[in-house]
Amino acid sequence: MVNRLQGKNAIITGAAGGIGLETTILMLQEGASVLMADISQPALSSALTKVQTLCPGTHVETIQVDVSSESSVKAMVEKVDSWGGVDIMFNNAGIMHADDADAIATPEKIWDLTQNINVKGVWFGCKYAVESFRRNGKVKGSVINTASMVALVGAATPQLAYTASKGAVLAMTRELGIVHAREGFRFNSLCPAPLNTPLLQDWLGDDKEKRYRREVHFPSGRFGEAIEQAHAVIFLASDESSFVNATDFVVDGGLTKAYVTPE
Ligand code: NAD
């Protein structure tokens, strides 16, 4: 399908990473203008080169942003005001720190860092998206916030700060969806299962046991792919999902519905 996002302006945070990059490509192919935002300038530059090769003739720009800094997020949104205002905000940037562990072992500074990026960063993104929608007289707006399936089920492999942060994303998104519904602004959470992206795969490395402990839970026997999340985001961003609001949109290959899966 093409042109489902024709004429819409989108911001994607964490755009140089797994889900963000695949979503950028699909959004451009569907006719949106996209501002790719990420904290890493080198990663943004190489992502932009890839995107421009795959999607010639589309409107894509980049901006370096730290989503945990309010002034940085404000500047990011103001850039898209000069295009006519934001229509789609994909608050996708997030971290899962290697030192994140259980209640005893998680250092306070890792807890704070994780909440600052994963929760406060999403709040800032929502706040400035709403301001941009209003400033530019939008009667429709779609905000998609990346949570995780660990916000829905407890994991026996603890990353407590991360899990708590994604639970907060779910709760915040739900409330924003209700508060702004009569303005035509929708807020939905995306809940991916573990994926083949650097965020997880770098951390798993060659550790076969660690990998198996996770893979075994998938009914399909495999991790998800970033592109499978990106397709869901396109639906949530487009007017096709006009009556989908305040939902926990789960894209997990059935993992959160499984009791046991075959060896
Ligand atoms: P990724 O690591 O490939 O991409 C994340 C991107 O966010 C990176 O490019 C990174 O530079 C950027 N980023 C980090 N901190 C930032 C900050 N302060 N400001 C701006 N950008 C920042 O990861 P991904 O798998 O594409 O993850 C995207 C989202 O999906 C994250 O919120 C993550 O928690 C969530 N998620 C991932 C998985 C998975 O298995 N990969 C599963 C569930 C949820």
Rama region for 204: left / alpha / beta (φ>0; ψ in -120 to 50; rest)? alpha
Ligand 1 atom nearest 229 alpha carbon = 30
Residue 45: partners with Cβ closer than 8 Å, 6 or more residues away: 62
| 185 has pLDDT over 90 | yes
| First-last CA distance in the chain | 38
| 1 has pLDDT over 60 | no
For a pocket test of ligand 1, which of 11, 19, 51 has the largest count of ligand atoms closer than 8 A to its C-beta? 19
Q: Catalytic residue numbers? A: 162
Q: Ligand 1 in contact with 16 (CB < 6 A)?
A: yes
Give the strand pairing for 88-91 and 9-13: parallel
**Which residue in 40, 245, 119 sits closest to 127, CA to CA?**
119
pLDDT value of residue 209: 85
Q: Ligand 1 in contact with 198 (CB < 6 A)?
A: yes
Question: What's the rounded mean pLDDT across residues 79-98?
Answer: 97
Q: What is the mean pLDDT of the chain?
A: 95
- Are the C-beta atoms of 120 and 170 separated by less than 8 Å? no
| 102 has pLDDT over 70 | yes
pLDDT value of residue 263: 65
**Which residue in 102, 138, 97 sits closest to 115, CA to CA?**
97
Cα 225 from Cα 22, distance rounded (Å): 10
pLDDT class of 64 with cuts at 50, 70, 90:
very high
Q: What are the CA-CA distances from residue 171 to residues 73, 112, 119, 176, 188 (Å)?
A: 21, 19, 11, 9, 10
Give pairs for 50-54: CB < 8 Å, separation 24+.
50/21, 51/21, 51/24, 51/25, 54/25
| 173 has pLDDT over 80 | yes
pLDDT value of residue 2: 76
- Is 187 in a helix, a strand, or coil? strand
Strand order, beta sheet including 33-38: 60-64, 33-38, 9-13, 88-91, 141-146, 185-192, 248-251
Residue 57 Cα to ligand 1 midpoint, Å, equals: 27
Which tokens go with 13? 């945070």
Predicted ipTM beyond 0.95: yes
Question: What's the rounded mean pLDDT across residues 146-157?
Answer: 94
Question: What's the rounded mean pLDDT across residues 45-69?
Answer: 98
